[in-house]
Structure 1
Amino acid sequence: MIMAELEGIYTIWLRENKKFLRYRSRIVTSVVTPLLWLLIFGTGLGSAMRFGNIAGGYQAFIYPGIIAQTILFTSVFSGLSVIQDRQFGFLKEILVAPISRPAIVMGKAIGISTTALIQGFILLLLSFVVSVPMDVSILLGSILVIIIISLGLSGLGLLIASFTDSMEGFNLIMSFIVMPIFLLSGALFPITGLPSWLQVAVYANPLTYGVDALRGIILHQSVLPVYLDVIIIAVFALVMILISSLIFSKKEQSLM
């Protein structure tokens, strides 16, 4: 039984990654877009801001945030694959397979997390563009954070996809969720010294802790201890996977 579950998770994981690698344009755009944010937005706004305590200035400061942005968009919007599978009938074939609903969600989440990791890894290797030093310890620590936060965000995307029947509806919901999550994560500005009402929104945002952890590992400057950030995003990932598995099971069972 356990082997069947693991084989099912592996098969779904493999399918998600083959879909990603088949469209190489996705890989190119997923790297070019963050670089444009770094080079254009970072240079433009950085000319009006001074971060003398960080080598590389404002571009280096937003570098971990741009990595988190890439993870956010990739992980959450990959929930569209559930809607596509449902519309083309592939999801029904998976549901009648001898594996549990949580295994299906786990396979999807791990597959989405892997694609996010690939993109994040490429951006980590391009750290020299913004004059940020990179070594093995920083690379491994950043990869760990990327895996954890992408699992949680993919669970969020799958959860929303479970309630949505159309790609248009999914995109509409995402437009009201993804950008606030990104803008309130501290990716583009320091989260210290903010008004109290804004601090509540920032610290209620799980991506805030992912950005802070990446900034602590890469730039050695974080608001909270890195281990605390990692614990918070790990709890978030666990909760989202469990909730999305439960809701997905109930929703898809009602459609059978």
Structure 2
Amino acid sequence: MTRARTTARVSSRAGRAGAGGARQELRAIHALITRDWLRLAANPTNTVLLLLQPLLFLLAFGGGLSALVPDTALGGQYRAFLYPGILLMAIQAPAISVGIRLITDRYSGSIRDLLVTPARRSSLLCGICLGGCATATAQGAVLLALAPAGQLPYRPLLLAGLLAELTLASFTLTALTLLPAVHIRRPETFTTLLSLTSAPLLFGSGALVPLSALPSWVTSAAVLNPLAYATDLLRRTAGPTASAGVYWGAWQPPPVVEAGVLLLTAVIALLWTARRFGRTDDMA
């Protein structure tokens, strides 16, 4: 009887400790998400400038080329075709900035203040990724509110679906950005890497030009480009289009498969990043 009571007490204490530990991890994640929200609110000028580039692309680039690109090749006007790619551009810059901030904090030594907290490294990494995902989605939502500029009607279910897909794309882009960020120590190296990869990945995704109009090797490489799946997912939700998206051989994966590819890519990137982020000597 005494042994049973002792076992019950130990189990009760372990349960309370586990619950308290879970609350502690959630508080750490919430604090990191709140930190990114405060950064976003404290610098509205930077937010406006980040949104200005994709908006100018939509109005100037889309309006200028709409007369040159036949509607029959796209299944609609070029501005409507371009709008999902512009949404992707809107979330790309804030997602990338998460990796830049991580390297800057690591280079300056301020990352140590974060690592000495009692929260687990995996929780800190999730908080950093979710914070970047939230701010990137918020900036994409601002551009999504200007749907008529992309010839998209105000339909609540349609906008909600696009917002959910923007959230998934933001999560994937943030996770992919953190992967090289934990391996690079100098901000200049990371910036150079971004300049070499960001534009080719965007143009090779079909965001601005149909994949069918690009060289065959670019179309083949799009199968390995996460931005191509995000662009195709947004475009197929925004409306029917005659432009070919990503194909696996002769088969075009349905939207649910494309969403699964994005989610799987983000999970693999986070797990890979967590292995390096958990090493004290590497992150100090």
Equivalence for 2:152: 132
1:15, CA displacement in angstroms?
Answer: 0.7
Q: For the residues of structure 2 that align with 1:194 and 1:28, how far apart are their CA atoms?
A: 32
Alignment deviations for residues 21-43 of structure 1 (CA, whole Å, 9 cap, x no partner): 11001221122211100111112
Tell me whether 4-13 or 164-173 shows the greater mean CA deviation: 164-173
Which residue of 76, 88, 105 corresponds with 1:85? 105
* 2: CA distance, partners of 1:76 / 1:120: 14
Question: Is 1:254 equivalent to 2:274 in the alignment?
Answer: no
Match among 261, 265, 269 for residue 236 of structure 1: 265
Q: Which runs of 5+ in 1 are unaligned?
A: none
How far apart in 2 are the matches of 1:164 and 1:219? 40
- The answer for the alignment partner of 1:147 in structure 2 is 167
SS across alignment from 2:182 = helix
RMSD: 1.7
Distance 1:254 1:161 in 2: 12
- Measured against aligned partners, the alpha-carbon deviations of 1:136-166 in whole angstroms (never above 9, x if no partner) come to 1111111111111211111121122112222
Contact 1:73 1:178 in 2 (8 A): no
**Which residue does 1:108 correspond to in 2?**
128
2:182 to 162, 165, 171: 162
2:245 paired with 1:225: no
Contact 1:138 1:217 in 2 (8 A): yes
Pair 1:18-2:38 in alignment = yes
Separation in structure 2 between the aligned mates of residue 33 and residue 16 of structure 1, nearest angstrom: 22
Residue pair 2:158, 2:237 contacting (<8 A) in 1 also: yes
Take 2:105 and 2:113, find their aligned partners in 1: how far apart are those partners? 9
**The 10-residue stretch of structure 1 (155-164 or 120-129) with the greater mean CA deviation from structure 2:** 155-164
User: Take 2:182 and 2:31, find their aligned partners in 1: how far apart are those partners?
Assistant: 21
Amino-acid identity (%): 29
| Matched AA of 1:201 | A
Across the two proteins, how many residue pairs are aligned to each other?
254
Match of 2:12 in 1: none
Quick one: distance in 1 between partners of 2:89 and 2:205? Answer: 9
Q: Summarize deviations over 1:117-146 as a string: whole Å, max 9, x none.
A: 111111111011132213111111111111
| Equivalent-residue separation in structure 1 for 2:34 and 2:193 (angstroms) | 28
* Cα distance in 1 for residues equivalent to 2:62 and 2:208: 9
Cα pair 2:106 2:283 within 8 Å, conserved: no
| SS of corresponding position for 2:125 | helix
AA aligned opposite 1:98: P
Who wins on radius of gyration, i.e. which is larger?
2
Compute the displacement of 1:81 (Å): 1.0
Normalising to structure 1: TM-score of the pair? Answer: 0.93
Q: Which amino acid aligns with 2:127?
A: G
Equivalent position of 1:184 in the other structure: 204
CA distance in 2, matches of 1:254, 1:58: 47
Closer, same or farther: CA 195–32 of 1 in aligned 2, 3 Å:
closer
User: Deviation string for 1:47-93 (max 9, x for gaps)?
Assistant: 211124645x1111010011112222221232111122223332101
Q: Is 1:75 matched with 2:95?
A: yes
Q: Compared with structure 1, are the counterparts of its residues 96 and 184 closer, same or farther at alpha carbon in structure 2 (3 Å cutoff)?
A: same
Q: Look up the equivalent residue of 2:149 and give its one-letter code.
A: V
Match for residue 216 of structure 1 among 221, 230, 236:
236
Amino acid at match of 1:9: I
* C-alpha deviation, 1:243, in angstroms: 1.4
Q: Which runs of 5+ in 2 are unaligned?
A: 1-20, 246-252
Higher mean C-alpha deviation, range 109-118 or range 221-230: 221-230
Contact 2:277/2:283, CA 8 A, preserved across alignment:
no
User: Which whole-Å CA distance do the structure 1 matches of 2:236 and 2:154 have between them?
Assistant: 13
AA at the equivalent of 2:282? S
